[in-house]
Amino acid sequence: MNRPASSFHFSCGRTRREFLWQAGNGFFGTAMAWMLARDGARAGGITPSAHFPARAKHCIFLFMVGGPSHIDTFDPKPVLNKRHGEDYDFKPAQGVSQKGKGKLMGSPFKFQACGQSGIEVSELFPHLREHIDEMAVIRGTKGDSAAHGAASLQMNTGFVRQGLPCLGSWANYGLGSPNNNMPGFVVLVNGAPYSGAQNWGAGFMPSGYQGTVLKTSGTPVPNLVPAMNRSRETQRDQLDLLARWNSEHQARLPANSELAARIEAYELAYRMQAHAPEAVDLSRESESTRKLYGIGGGDADRFGKSCLMARRLVERGTRFVQLYHSNWDTHGDNDKRHQKLCNQTDRPIAGLLADLKARGLLEETLVVWAGEFGRTPVGTGGRDHHAAGFSTWMAGGGIKGGTVQGATDEFGFHVTGGEAHVHDLHATILHLMGLNHEELTYFHSGRDFRLTDVFGKVLTDIVA
């Protein structure tokens, strides 16, 4: 739509940031930069930028689909272990726990105090726990739904409904993308999450803010390789003629930022064809690096590759990378399956933290680990959905390592103190990226929307 450029925004309470994006842009920065130059010259524009200095330029969000058990990983419960097998009835927690009554189920996994901080982590993560002093373990995490679909949406968008923009969209909306050749929000899927693409959707924001799914094998970006394989020379010839015809078309018309942005998008697409394959080409990594991530056959191979790809993307300026790993929904055979799932992710995540640190990237990259919820302390063999109290963690950019936020009761059911609602995680992540969650708003359907709705507080205890 050919929107008037200056008569349109502040009148309806929109921020300039929004206006610029709506006027014809996407997650690729170049076209935007062009518009900013043009528009800024005219109206004294403000570039999208942080509200205050950022602690983290990038975020890697490791999403454990299905809901990992906090009781078997980051939240030791000796009392629960001792009373294993007893019948127990927790106070009802309607909607936030699938099972509050039944036999207590202890964890067979041994916990050990790790690092300088002495935080206890289970033997399921032998490599990851070596990095405990970089991590803030949030044992008092809480969400609003114990249903996969709704809870996944909440972990990503703050709302249990669909149709809202996700964290990665908000971050790029707030900060723009630092790389002109690559998308600012990339999603790597190793097992699809519940509610599908809604998890990385832009909701009511322009579609350009949605996550770009890079495949973890084959062609990484959709349509990066022509459906009919023409040579790069031929493509260049076509794009040259396209550019010529487009500029002749534009010359016949009054200045129009959209037309210009569209011309630029083709050049960006051409550059992406050259850059994206390199960005995700893991064969350029040394054998020792690959090994660090657990690549080389074996359980950890697949997720290791995704983690390594995440590092390469962050290195190249991608603002937000989200990795999905599934499926932690261990209703049956909880212990054996957790063993396997942890084998698949332990080395990759530990390798990612080590590698980021060695390259000096960890201090500017926030790493977040979370599922949509945790699992119940009652069950026989399996554990059910539990959002009333579970564990997540963050490390890197701006995080005070070796800290614990909050706690659950002796069974791991209710949060007893230091509650960190999903909204608080979001507020904290935005804060570390330099954004005030109360000021980052988007006007839609008659009101300003926030990632944190009317909630959220920054978890200052885990901020360095």
For position 207 contacting other proteins by CB under 8 A, the verdict is yes
Question: Can you tell me which of 166, 186, 272, 394 binds other proteins, judged by CB under 8 A?
Answer: 272
* 227 binds other proteins, rule: CB under 8 A: yes
Name the helix (H) or strand (E) containing 356. Answer: helix 334-358
Of residues 174 through 203, those in contact with other proteins by CB under 8 A are: 183, 187, 189, 192-203
* 410 burial type by CB count under 10 A (0-12 exposed, 13-18 middle, 19+ buried): middle
Shorter beta-carbon distance to other proteins: residue 32 or 362: 32
Query: Dihedral of CA 322/324/330/334: which sign?
Result: negative
Nearer to other proteins by Cβ, of 51 and 262: the residue is: 262
43 binds other proteins (CB under 8 A): no
280 near other proteins (CB under 8 A): no
The answer to the question of residue 24 lying near other proteins (CB under 8 A) is yes
101 in contact with other proteins (CB under 8 A): no
Closer residue to other proteins, CB minimum distance, 231 or 286: 231
228 binds other proteins (CB under 8 A): yes
User: Per CB under 8 A, which of residues 297..326 are in contact with other proteins?
Assistant: none
CB closer to other proteins, 267 vs 364 = 267
Contact between 185 and 452 (Cβ < 8 Å): no
Residue with tokens 């979001």: 426
**Residues of this chain, 250-269, that bind other proteins according to CB under 8 A:** 250, 252-256, 258-259, 261-263, 265-266, 268-269
Burial call 369-396: b when 16+ CB within 10 Å, e when fewer: bbbbbbbbbbbeebbbbbbbbbbbbbbb
Q: In terms of C-beta distances under 8 Å and separation of at least 24 residues, what long-range contacts does 298-302 make, across chains too? A: 299/340, 299/343, 299/344, 300/343, 300/344, 300/345, 300/346, 300/347, 300/348, 302/190, 302/216, 302/344
DSSP 193: P
* By CB under 8 A, residue 166 contacts other proteins: no
217 token code pair: 């094998």
- Give the range of 95-103, 129-137, 355-363, 399-407 binding other proteins by CB under 8 A: 95-103
Q: Which of residues 230-249 bind other proteins (CB under 8 A)?
A: 230-231, 233-235, 237-238, 241-242, 244-246, 249
Number of neighbouring beta carbons within 10 Å of residue 359: 13
Position 216 contacts other proteins (CB under 8 A): no
